[in-house]
Structure 1
Amino acid sequence: MAVGVVVVPGYGDSEPAHWQSFACRRHPQWRRVRQADWERPEVEPWVVALDAEVRALDGPLVLVAHSLGCITVVEWAARRRADVRGALLVAPADTDELPFFADVPLAPLPFPSIVVASRNDPYVRFERAQAFAAAWGSRLVDAGAAGHLNAAAGYGDWPRIGFWLGPWLGTTPGAGAAAGRGVAAVLPG
């Protein structure tokens, strides 16, 4: 059975030049969460929208999230169950100080995951992203000084995500769940 992919953008959606948008154009079979209100995020509607995309797939899946989308995935995982092979959580936003979303859940995820974090992300301190990864049981990838890992930081067409997703999708060798916990550096590309 083929493994489905659900892309989970963050606040404001991912613009056309964002790596998530490039990935969706490269893989038109991937599903992308559509939120009713990208500018005023609320936990419940965002989790419901993610759940709808997950339920539309029949079989195992992989989640590919960015920023507030990462927190949506973690919130969803605390409430729902599905056959998730893994989750790539890139630049998780720290929502504890935001009045419009929930505090970040700090429980282990029920599936393998990788957190990719930058040392100069304006939306989460690296040490906080490290704490998220540890609490979630995620492998941490240190992206160095990579901003918010979005189009503005130079992350448009980013084929490196295939390296991380490959083991979960059964397509290529890479550093997915089989690599275990720990910290790794981002490889170029």
Structure 2
Amino acid sequence: MKKLAYSLGLFFTSFFGYAAPPQETTIHRQIFIVHGYGATAHDHWFESLQRQMQDSHTQVTILQLPYPMQPDVEAWQHVLEQNIKMIDEQTYFVAHSLGGVTLLNFLSKRNPPKIGGVILVAGFTETLPVLPQLDSYILKSQNMHINLKNSPNKHLFISENDEYVPPELSIKLAKQLDIPFTLIPKAGHFLAEDGYTDFPQLVRYLKEILRK
């Protein structure tokens, strides 16, 4: 059977002048999406982003963090540690809200020499007046010493009317970490109920930096 297949291959090669090699898919890039408080991997714009960005060269993983209504620092960090084995210039992160605190805590401990990109959505690192139930998680995560100078691509998306994360806290974080930011009007907290089942600004940004 192998000889027959080989003979047919030679026949088509000689007859048509070219035989296309079998297509191979090689994953070159990894994008990890880290959700926030009260969310799951299936909420908001996460799966839409995954569908739009995943291809034969890019693997997009939405991390599912346990007990999202009762976040635990150790449990959430464990999920990141188990799923993110290597970080280099082909590794990109997208984190929403409390997921940003979680990601920055993780990166501060790993301190990778290179990161492809870090994108925070409604990012913050200080306690939130309207969500005091998160104070313990946030304060416990503040031992971070993160330096994003090792990431050539970083951005923070901020909503002008975020009812959970005051825009001034996100802007303060952007200045602390020297992250360029985009202020988007009437985006709420970038939730599905705010109209964010799709996130075109984030998709555009990711496609731009991946073309570099």
Q: TM (normalized to structure 2)?
A: 0.70
CA drift at 1:77: 1.6
Give 1:68's match in structure 2, choosing from 68, 88, 98: 98
Secondary structure, in 3 states, of the residue corresponding to 2:161?
Answer: coil
Question: Matches of 1:91 and 1:19 in 2, distance apart?
Answer: 14
Structure with greater Cα Rg:
2
Q: Match for residue 169 of structure 1?
A: 210
Say whether residues 1:115 and 2:156 are aligned partners: yes
Query: Is residue 2:181 matched to residue 1:140?
Result: yes
Q: Give 3-state SS (helix, strand or coil) of 2:78's partner.
A: helix
Partner of 1:21: 47
Cα offset for 1:24?
2.1
Aligned residues: 171
How far the C-alpha of 1:132 sits from its partner, in A, is 0.7
The alignment's C-alpha RMSD in Å is 2.6
Q: Name the counterpart of 1:46.
A: 76
Q: 1:45 to 1:17 in 2, by over 3 A?
A: closer
Identify which of 162, 181, 190 aligns with 1:149: 190
Counterpart for residue 5 of structure 1:
31
In the alignment, structure 1 residue 160 sits paired with structure 2 residue 201: yes
What is the match of residue 100 of structure 1?
136
Match of 2:67 among 26, 37, 41: 37
Q: Structure 2 counterpart of 1:101, which letter?
A: Y
Change in CA separation of 1:20 and 1:72 when aligned onto 2, cut-off 3 Å: same
SS at the partner of 2:103?
helix
Residue identity (%): 26
Q: Distance in 2 between matches of 1:15 and 1:30?
A: 12
Mapping for residues 174-185 of structure 1, pairs under 5 Å: none
Deviation at 1:89, TM superposition (A): 0.5
Matches of 1:17 and 1:38 in 2, distance apart? 12
Q: Is the 8 A contact 1:5 1:61 kept in 2?
A: yes
What secondary structure sits across from 1:102 in the alignment?
Answer: helix
Do residues 130 (structure 1) and 171 (structure 2) align?
yes
Q: Which runs of 5+ in 1 are unaligned?
A: 174-189
TM-score w.r.t. the length of structure 1 is 0.78
Tell me if the contact between 2:121 and 2:156 (Cα under 8 Å) persists in the aligned partners: yes
Runs of at least 5 residues in structure 2 that lack an aligned partner in the other structure: 1-26, 129-133
Whole-angstrom distance in 2 between the partners of 1:131 and 1:35: 27
Q: Is residue 40–residue 100 contact of structure 1 (8 Å, CA) maintained in 2?
A: no
Letter in 2 for 1:87: V
Residue number in structure 2 paired with 1:176: none
**Partner SS state of residue 30, structure 1:** strand
